[in-house]
Amino acid sequence: MSGNANFAFDDIAIVAVSACEAPEVVTSEAMDERLSPFYQRTSAHAGILSALAGIEQRRAWPAGVSFMEAAALAGEKAIIDSGIDRSQIGLVIDTSVCRERLEPSSAVTVHNALGLPSTCMNYDLGNACLGFVNAIHLAGAMIETGQLDYVLVVDGEGTRQIHDNTISRLNEPGSTFDDLVENFASLTLGSGSAAALVGRHSQNPGSHQVVRGLFRAATEYHELCVGSLQSMKTDTAALLDAGTSLAKLAWDDANKDEWQDMDLYVLHQVSKVHTEAMIEVLGIDPARVPMTFPRFGNMGPAAVPFTLALSADQLSAGDRVLCLGIGSGLNAGLLELVW
């Protein structure tokens, strides 16, 4: 199974999954107001953000709150919810896309903030919006081989800087409608954080078993979405086509008949267009697809665990959940859970 990027676990579970909402609400109307100089000069008009993306608002952290602090907030919540003593955690992985520095890692700050022991390893794992799903897989592999007992995966994303930079750039004389199209994805991003504590299913009653999954890559599309805190330039139409095609490839390579009737499908939260396209290409029931992007925007790798955590009250013991993440590059990952 390892040769084709498929995997299965015997005794791995998510013991706790948490979401932390950034407190400041940033509506699409408020962003339209800030973009009024741009709208007055071009053929674009107010309302385009909510009309095209289906995003009515997104969140922001207060100025001065770092990405690592946001990640640690979610990590602390997951530790408390799990009931596990933090001395048992052998590794913390930070999967955040947003970074304030090249070194040291973001994980060292999270490790320190959470008061984790010196025996707890710590490092970052970056793979665009798929990083959190990758980290769950890595955590499961390390626990199942007996190297560790518990792994904490955290993610903290913030959008204040990229929003400010993008809006300022669009409002400059000379910017065109094409510039808005190229930078549109930047304005759909939202702030938030999430965390999951991974351990053995047999040792944690009430935990949520990680059954199996798979990963697929289409790296010929690595230039379709390139981002930094300064900007995120995206070929939106090409990225939509390539992303849905890769998701369909992964779906068809799996035993898709067993995934056709899951109780919940937690998809990466991008936009209305992307979600509807993914539902159509996979042929799944839209009523079983929770959507957080209309209120929180696209939170990158935090989106899947954040949506899973907010959907927990819809789930009962034994329910089957499929998580699907897609990251710029392109990479796709599917993760099957039993609640």
Q: Give the per-residue SS3 of the chain.
A: CHHHCEEECCCEEEEEEEEEECCEEEEHHHHHHHCHHHHHHCCCCCCHHHHHHCCCEEEECCCCCCHHHHHHHHHHHHHHHHCCCHHHEEEEEECCCCCCCCCCCHHHHHHHHCCCCCCCEEEECCECECHHHHHHHHHHHHHHCCCCCEEEEEEEECCHHHHHHHHHHHCCCCCCHHHHHHHHHHHHECCEEEEEEEEEHHHCCCCEEEEEEEEEECHHHCCCEEECCCCEEECHHHHHHHHHHHHHHHHHHCCHHHHCCCCEEEECCCCHHHHHHHHHHHCCCHHHCCCCHHHHCECHHHHHHHHHHHCHHHCCCCCEEEEEEEECCCEEEEEEEEC
Q: What's the one-letter identity of residue 333?
A: G
pLDDT tens figures, 83-107: 999 999 999 999 999 999 999 999 9
Specify the pLDDT at position 20: 98
Could you tell me which CATH class the domain 2-9+204-338 is placed in? alpha beta
Lowest mean pLDDT among 183-192, 235-244, 263-272, 308-317: 235-244
Q: Which of 20, 120, 129, 225 is catalytic?
A: 129
pLDDT tens figures, 318-336: 999 999 999 999 999 999 9
Binned at pLDDT 50, 70 and 90, residue 232 comes out as: confident
Please give the Cα distance from 141 to 153 (Å, whole number). Answer: 14
Phi, psi of 317 (to 5 degrees): -55, 130
Please give the Cα distance from 139 to 142 (Å, whole number). Answer: 5
Q: What's the one-letter identity of residue 198?
A: V
How many C-beta atoms lie closer than 10 Å to residue 271's C-beta? 23
As beta bridge partners, residue 20 has: 193
Average pLDDT of span 23-34 = 96
Decide if 105 contacts 95 (C-beta within 8 A): no
Q: Is a pLDDT exceeding 70 seen at residue 311?
A: yes
To the nearest whole percent, how much of the chain has pLDDT over 90? 86
Average pLDDT of span 301-318 = 97
Please give the Cα distance from 273 to 105 (Å, whole number). Answer: 35
Average pLDDT of span 149-177 = 96
Q: Is a pLDDT exceeding 80 seen at residue 338?
A: yes
Average pLDDT, the chain: 94
Binned at pLDDT 50, 70 and 90, residue 3 comes out as: low
Phi, psi of 327 (to 5 degrees): -125, 145
What angle (nearest 5°) sits at the alpha carbon of residue 287, between those of residues 285 and 288? 75
Q: Is a pLDDT exceeding 60 seen at residue 1?
A: no
For residue 299, give the nearest of 98, 65, 74 by alpha carbon: 98
Q: Is a pLDDT exceeding 70 seen at residue 145?
A: yes
Average pLDDT of span 167-177 = 95
Average pLDDT of span 162-174 = 95
Catalytic-residue membership of 103: yes
Q: Torsion angle of alpha carbons 213, 216, 221, 222, nearest 10°?
A: 70
Specify the pLDDT at position 43: 84
Catalytic-residue membership of 98: no
How many C-beta atoms lie closer than 10 Å to residue 94's C-beta? 31
Decide if 115 contacts 75 (C-beta within 8 A): no
As beta bridge partners, residue 321 has: 264, 337
* Token couple for 274: 């992307």
Please give the Cα distance from 8 to 11 (Å, whole number). Answer: 10
